[in-house]
Structure 1
């Protein structure tokens, strides 16, 4: 296949408008947000081009049409002041408020845990102070990414994704392990889910090859995640959701039903294979009857603790739990009975110590946060902003759902942290960074413009190669034509 490229330059011809540049410059001087200048300039010049074309059709000379097109725009200062009120960075104060409340709850929870070290095998003495060091780091990461140009994810999606995936692979050499599992993989999967949105965005306008490429990237990522079944499932499902959203929004030149099958059949295989190979193990993630001792110990213990919790105040454990813990006071036995009481099962611990009201408060915060994040997704006019916002939202939802399923005794899953609330310094910093990314997309929504290609097909049907791509770059026009 051969292509020829034409680049039309304005240098050897008369400028499209004389005075248009000065008009645009004067308008932009009134707009304080520098990032909006490029978008405003493009909008004004395009509008003046349309006005000029209309005047030319009415029989006016080119010079007169140009002059009238500029005059039609109105006073530059007045227009600039109006655009200044329109184009301003818009922080989502509601989401920031909810995140702030979550952080306050997290501070209280961690301080409470540090005071209740008891006689458990994993005391939490000094546990509160390391969090105070991670708190400003997480806030700084969120602020830094918030003011960053998030469109870099759309400009260099493959490079960014490849670098992060390579770092995840290298991390196996020196990352700490818990129960023979590298803990760094989970945090990289959260980041890669959002960057995967950039990969999907980069394949817009392609046919089935774009869907296959996105699928191949996802499969390679799952192979890197290795034995972390829960992480692999999380990434596979999140990636499938992002691809499905792109297909539904007509980003690919495909038949939707075949493209969706191309996405979900491999994902179903990835999910079912571990379940079929280790059915007995997964069985006791949900049931306790008939299980050998230790197979469903945590699930059984969580259910027993919750069944003896009160609406307010500390619950009361049944008498048989005291037999193997004769040397401990009643208030400190739970630290010996419940593994990971200060991290993975911190909500269960808090429910037993403080009552079910604590769980209700946490659930309300989680629901409010999810609602706010979905509002950000729905308000995105940019395709890149939509995909990044959706990626962040589904990662927050996944973590929240798995954490609550574990802590409410519904299943015994490989636990995820509850974003911004449950203990875990690494998870706090990573999630704060993701929150900065989605808030950056919301803040820049009014000024970001997706790259647009005007494609013409010989038959105008799916599966045909485009004959010509035309891209307007200011006064330049780049044309790539099939020979």
Structure 2
């Protein structure tokens, strides 16, 4: 049997698939041996007959090689390529708008620097995406608790203002030393797919395992809310709740599935709403957060002024072409938070529909790749990546339309912001890696398969 397996596995080009194929073939042969023994054959005869019935090892190996080979998500590559090109063109177009020449020199330099930095971030992002794609998402999952712990430590240090970590422009969103700075909100959002891998380590556990999984979710949300960034905290909590729900639904925890899901969602929807109400009532929120909530519900204040301004810019949009409104001079952060309003006013409704359709295709593909993933680890991590992109798009559109209080968001691949751009490419890199190995990895990993993979690789390479 071992000789047969060795010859069969030598036909499999994907080394990562070999241990799982070996286990599957070995189980099949051993079952056949057991049937043959029950029919009165000796063990030698039973084994020889079972191996013979499997067919020629070379032909079987070639057939399995066609099935269990890495896949390339060409559609996702095309979608990301289109969005990357659109982002560069849109940011560069700002420098050619009539209103741009009327700005102060300082503002012109700011937008020029942002446009140039956007192109550089796209190039770096594409490289990062390729690195993660070839790295394999299971490698990230292997060190998930270490990565997640490091992110939480950085977040805690940033909130405390400890050591070499600092504040920039009065906002505690950045950490860094010297010129090396990282947006903490972007780093915290990257924690979401890492959380999916952390969840996988607690499978087959009970109440205690679920409590530890919930603790890994509460800590980053608490840290993010203290940065403070309530919008990102909400995005993270909802995204990780979806991951946790998928894990419970798949039976990772030895608990009643429906009751556990209902209990978790009731707790994480009622408790935050109650806490936010209490904080608002006793003036425990950061002043600008309280002002945004008050202005939204009372239709007054600076936040409502911005909502009213957005409504004016979003009215009477032409089907195609420039609306004639001075978006560059009249709408702050139009190249970041309100980039979609800039697109509508500069190029018309059809351009906006095209951009929205590309973004929708991106989200659908990301969730589709995760949902069709055979391996449960890839599925949960993929859902986390998809939720980060989906919720940022949704909150950005909802804020621009005045449906929710304005919060700091971005439109993936289109808004300026180096760290958010890199975040998007990193998330897509994970999805590409998940899709690449969708026919390679089994439903669940076993420790025995990891050691078997090393043994098989050594044997075949000798």
Q: Smaller-chain TM-score range?
A: 0.7 to 0.9
Deviation, 1:472, is: 11
Partner of 1:93 in structure 2? Answer: 74
* Whole-Å separation in 2 of the counterparts to 1:361 and 1:143: 26
* Whole-Å separation in 2 of the counterparts to 1:449 and 1:166: 33
1:445-464 mapped onto 2 (5 Å cutoff) = 445-451=438-444
* Whole-Å separation in 2 of the counterparts to 1:162 and 1:259: 26
**Residues 146-182 of structure 1 deviation map (CA, whole Å, 9 limit, x = unaligned):** 1112113443332221122223334454355355341
1:319-468 mapped onto 2 (5 Å cutoff) = 333-451=326-444
Q: Is the 8 A contact 1:298 1:412 kept in 2?
A: no
In structure 2, relative to structure 1, the CA distance for the partners of 1:310 and 1:372 (3 Å cut) is: same
Give unpaired runs (5+ residues) of structure 2: 175-182, 282-289, 454-462
Partner of 1:160 in structure 2? Answer: 147
In structure 2, relative to structure 1, the CA distance for the partners of 1:181 and 1:357 (3 Å cut) is: farther
Deviation, 1:310, is: 2.2
Larger CA Rg, structure 1 vs 2: 1
Deviation, 1:316, is: 4.1
Deviation, 1:420, is: 1.7
Q: Is the 8 A contact 2:4 2:51 kept in 1?
A: yes
1:137 partner SS: helix
* Whole-Å separation in 1 of the counterparts to 2:297 and 2:309: 12
* Whole-Å separation in 2 of the counterparts to 1:55 and 1:137: 59
1:171-182 mapped onto 2 (5 Å cutoff) = 171-172=158-159, 173=161, 174-177=165-168, 180-182=171-173
2:42 equivalent among 61, 65, 83: 61
Point out the structure with the larger helix share: 2
Partner of 1:267 in structure 2? Answer: 268
1:315 equivalent among 318, 323, 328: 323
Partner of 1:228 in structure 2? Answer: 229
Partner of 2:458 in structure 1? Answer: none
**Residues 11-31 of structure 1 deviation map (CA, whole Å, 9 limit, x = unaligned):** xxxxxxxxx222222112222
Does 2:97 match 1:104?
A: no
Larger displacement relative to structure 2 (112-121 or 395-404): 112-121
* Whole-Å separation in 2 of the counterparts to 1:254 and 1:36: 32
Q: Is the 8 A contact 1:299 1:411 kept in 2?
A: no
In structure 2, relative to structure 1, the CA distance for the partners of 1:134 and 1:186 (3 Å cut) is: same
What RMSD, in angstroms, separates the aligned Cα atoms of the two structures?
2.6
Larger displacement relative to structure 2 (182-191 or 274-283): 274-283
2:304 equivalent among 282, 289, 296: 296
Larger displacement relative to structure 2 (348-357 or 104-113): 348-357
Deviation, 1:409, is: 3.9
Partner of 2:101 in structure 1? Answer: 118
Q: Is the 8 A contact 1:229 1:274 kept in 2?
A: no
Deviation, 1:51, is: 1.5
1:386 partner SS: helix
In structure 2, relative to structure 1, the CA distance for the partners of 1:175 and 1:238 (3 Å cut) is: farther
Deviation, 1:188, is: 1.6
Deviation, 1:401, is: 0.7
1:56 partner SS: helix
**Residues 276-321 of structure 1 deviation map (CA, whole Å, 9 limit, x = unaligned):** 53376354564674x13x242211111111114322222245xxxx
* Whole-Å separation in 1 of the counterparts to 2:359 and 2:448: 46
Give unpaired runs (5+ residues) of structure 1: 1-19, 318-332, 454-468, 476-483
Larger displacement relative to structure 2 (32-41 or 165-174): 165-174
Partner of 2:256 in structure 1? Answer: 255
Deviation, 1:272, is: 4.1
Partner of 2:205 in structure 1? Answer: 206
Partner of 2:32 in structure 1? Answer: 51
* Whole-Å separation in 2 of the counterparts to 1:191 and 1:443: 20
Larger displacement relative to structure 2 (275-284 or 422-431): 275-284
Partner of 1:479 in structure 2? Answer: none
Larger displacement relative to structure 2 (152-161 or 432-441): 152-161
Deviation, 1:209, is: 1.7
* Whole-Å separation in 2 of the counterparts to 1:199 and 1:375: 22
Point out the structure with the larger strand share: 1
* Whole-Å separation in 2 of the counterparts to 1:271 and 1:366: 30
* Whole-Å separation in 2 of the counterparts to 1:312 and 1:275: 44
In structure 2, relative to structure 1, the CA distance for the partners of 1:67 and 1:472 (3 Å cut) is: farther
* Whole-Å separation in 2 of the counterparts to 1:194 and 1:338: 34
* Whole-Å separation in 2 of the counterparts to 1:180 and 1:304: 29
